[in-house]
């Protein structure tokens, strides 16, 4: 990020702007447009909106958002389920360097570890619940559609099976067909939100997924 971009991105964090300026350079690895600074800013926008109603420690939440993807593990890697744990450990080292106390580091680390779908860890704190909700909001709705096909392209998937796009006579395979990822994951996400505010936001985005699928079906 250029100094100008860093300043503009940091400003999005409001009263946590100084913390954001310190952590944004460590937030993401280069080369993945689905987990870039734009993703961090979208997740923060959603997390901040949920926090305004649900409460929690805003500094812990901001740090968790900023560092939840600080270690990159490719979606199709065998150790993908360890990504959030690795990110939590790296976040701990960064926050320890800033002089944060161990209890606050632990709270931030738990939120980071529990945010991941593949990790399968239940969030126990309000900050962890908000981060998980905010991150999953970015996987559904129109941005979720865009990210799904972007990631599919990066991994070499086809858009869909031209002979059986709805997988009526074959097993779902989202490694081969990006469209299959809607059934294997995206359409399931809205049922697992933690906060009342997050669930309401997810319902809107889930409806957009269904609208997209209807439109796509009419075109293919």
Query: Given 118, 133, 148, which residue is the final one in a domain?
Result: 133
Across 150-178, average pLDDT: 96
Residue-wise pLDDT for 31-64, tens only, equals 787 789 999 999 999 999 999 999 999 999 999 9
Instruction: Kindly state whether residues 108 and 159 are assigned to the same domain.
Output: no
Q: End of a domain among 103, 133, 163? A: 133
Kindly state whether residues 57 and 105 are assigned to the same domain: yes
Among 133, 163, 189, the domain boundary falls at 133
Structural domains of the chain, count: 2
Q: Does 108 share its domain with 189?
A: no
pTM of the complete model = 0.92
**pLDDT at position 76, please?**
59
CA distances from 53 to 46, 73, 167, 197, 205 (A): 11, 33, 40, 7, 19
Residues 33, 107 within the same domain: yes
Distances (CA, A) of 5 to 18, 24, 108: 14, 10, 25
159 and 179 share a domain?
yes
Across 149-174, average pLDDT: 96
Task: Residue 128: give the domain boundaries.
Answer: 1-133
**pLDDT for res 79:** 63
């Amino acid at each position: 990020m250029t100094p100008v971009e860093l300043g503009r991105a940091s400003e999005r964090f409001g009263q946590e702007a100084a913390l954001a300026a310190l952590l944004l350079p460590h937030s993401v690895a280069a080369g993945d447009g689905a987990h870039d600074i734009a993703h961090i800013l979208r997740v923060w926008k959603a997390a901040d909106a949920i926090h305004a109603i649900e409460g929690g420690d805003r500094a812990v939440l901001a740090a968790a958002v900023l560092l939840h993807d600080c270690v990159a593990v490719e979606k199709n890697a065998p150790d993908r389920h360890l990504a959030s744990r690795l990110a939590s450990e790296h976040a701990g080292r960064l926050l320890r360097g800033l002089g944060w106390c161990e209890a606050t580091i632990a709270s931030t680390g738990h939120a980071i570890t529990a945010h991941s779908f593949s990790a399968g860890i239940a969030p126990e704190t309000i900050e962890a619940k908000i981060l998980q909700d905010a991150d999953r909001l970015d996987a559904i709705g129109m941005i979720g559609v865009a990210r799904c096909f972007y990631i599919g392209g990066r991994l070499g998937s086809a858009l869909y099976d031209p002979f059986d796009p709805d997988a009526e006579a074959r097993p779902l395979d989202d490694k081969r067909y990006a469209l299959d990822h809607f059934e294997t994951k995206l359409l399931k996400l809205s049922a697992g939100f933690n906060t009342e505010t997050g669930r309401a936001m997810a319902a809107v985005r889930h409806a957009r997924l269904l609208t997209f699928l209807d439109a796509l079906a009419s075109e293919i």
